[in-house]
Amino acid sequence: MPTTAPAALAFADVTASDGALRRFLHGLPGVDAVGLEARAASLGTRSIKTTAKAYAIDLAISMIDLTTLEGADTPGKVRALAAKAVNPDPTDRTTPKTAAVCVYPDMVATAKAAVAGSGVKVASVATAFPAGRAALPVKLADTADAIAAGADEIDMVIDRGAFLAGRYMEVYEQIAAIKAECGDRARLKVIFETGELSTYDNIRRASWLGMMAGADFIKTSTGKVAVNATPANTLLMLEAVRDFRAQTGVQIGVKPAGGIRNTKEAIKFLVLVNETVGEDWLDNHWFRFGASSLLNDLLMQRQKLATGRYSGPDYVTVD
């Protein structure tokens, strides 16, 4: 991957000054909120059964960033999580691995050792997660620390305070600086915390801002606020990555996170992906779920499809 993404060159004039950036972001078409929600709701009514459901369940499992972001995380808990990511259902070895485990920076080394050799990646939140309220040097050090410990992916949070105050250039430069720190060593996911951005227009602006600044992935939320990933805000972000690729040729990933707890909801998101951006994104390199309890529900549904019997929480691990 070149250090200066072609996307950055394509938008060199837009990002040349604070004023130009503001004009560009505010010049993006407004979001039809009613239309967006109706579209997301109507795509949620698709009936996905039998073989299609089996495919969707396996795909969803392979797209999970199995996450633990608690103050009470211990090395033991992270190792247990990593073991589950590598081998989600010990009673059925055909179950796919999850895409990654997602932990705090201080747990990266533990997680890395636990998933070694399995192909499961280690993602680390960074930049003063979840609030993002720290000076840039602190955020850079946080990121460098996680990468040095072996993180394959960095989930950064944007400074919502600066964004909502209209200081877009500051947000842009911070993302670009973190991207430079990641370089070729880690893929960068940029978390907007859509629940704090108030409007769909803001989510669209944040998406473009993040993509122009070099994000490899755009991610809805931290999972720490009341409103997390919803079908509507994920659909809006999918439209943004679709338009961005049409304009620049650069493909960006999307990661809804938080609040997706069962198979039915996860499959609705996969329908959104397929209908909005198409099959190119139906791969864990381009679409992820940030989740923890979702995996157990997917495994129970998978067991039901395999055996014909309803499964129960006694037959999956407690985490």
Residue closer to other proteins (CB basis): 62 or 262: 262
Please name the residues in contact with 86: beta carbons below 8 A apart, sequence gap of 6 or more. Answer: 97, 114, 115, 118, 120
Dist. CA 99–CA 121, nearest whole Å? 6
Residue closer to other proteins (CB basis): 279 or 314: 314
Task: Write out the binding residues for other proteins, residues 141-200 only, by CB under 8 A.
Answer: none
313 part of the interface to other proteins, by CB under 8 A? yes
Strands (E), the chain: 64-67, 100-103, 121-126, 153-157, 187-191, 217-219, 253-255, 289-291
Residue closer to other proteins (CB basis): 22 or 53: 53
Give me the least distance between CB of 90 and other proteins, in Å please. Answer: 16
Q: Residue 128: is it exposed, middle or buried by C-beta count within 10 angstroms (0-12/13-18/19+)?
A: middle
311 part of the interface to other proteins, by CB under 8 A? yes
308 part of the interface to other proteins, by CB under 8 A? yes
Give me the least distance between CB of 141 and other proteins, in Å please. Answer: 44
Binding segment (CB under 8 A) for other proteins, from list 33-41, 46-54, 60-68, 307-315: 307-315
50 part of the interface to other proteins, by CB under 8 A? no
Distance of CA 51 to the CA centre of its chain: 27
Dist. CA 209–CA 63, nearest whole Å? 25
Q: Are 293 and 257 in contact (CB under 8 A)?
A: no
Q: Are 216 and 175 in contact (CB under 8 A)?
A: no
Give me the least distance between CB of 91 and other proteins, in Å please. Answer: 11
Residue 155 is among the residues annotated as catalytic for this protein: yes
Residue closer to other proteins (CB basis): 93 or 309: 309
Distance of CA 181 to the CA centre of its chain: 19
49 part of the interface to other proteins, by CB under 8 A? no
Q: Are 254 and 290 in contact (CB under 8 A)?
A: no
List the one residue out of 161, 291, 145, 154 whose CA is nearest residue 217. 154
Give me the least distance between CB of 317 and other proteins, in Å please. Answer: 15
315 part of the interface to other proteins, by CB under 8 A? yes
312 part of the interface to other proteins, by CB under 8 A? yes
137 part of the interface to other proteins, by CB under 8 A? no
The length of the chain in residues reads 319
279 part of the interface to other proteins, by CB under 8 A? no
310 part of the interface to other proteins, by CB under 8 A? yes
Residue 121 is among the residues annotated as catalytic for this protein: no
301 part of the interface to other proteins, by CB under 8 A? no
Q: Pick the catalytic residue from 65, 155, 159, 297.
A: 155
Q: What residues are annotated to the active site?
A: 155, 219, 255
Binding residues for other proteins, per CB under 8 A? Answer: 303, 308-315
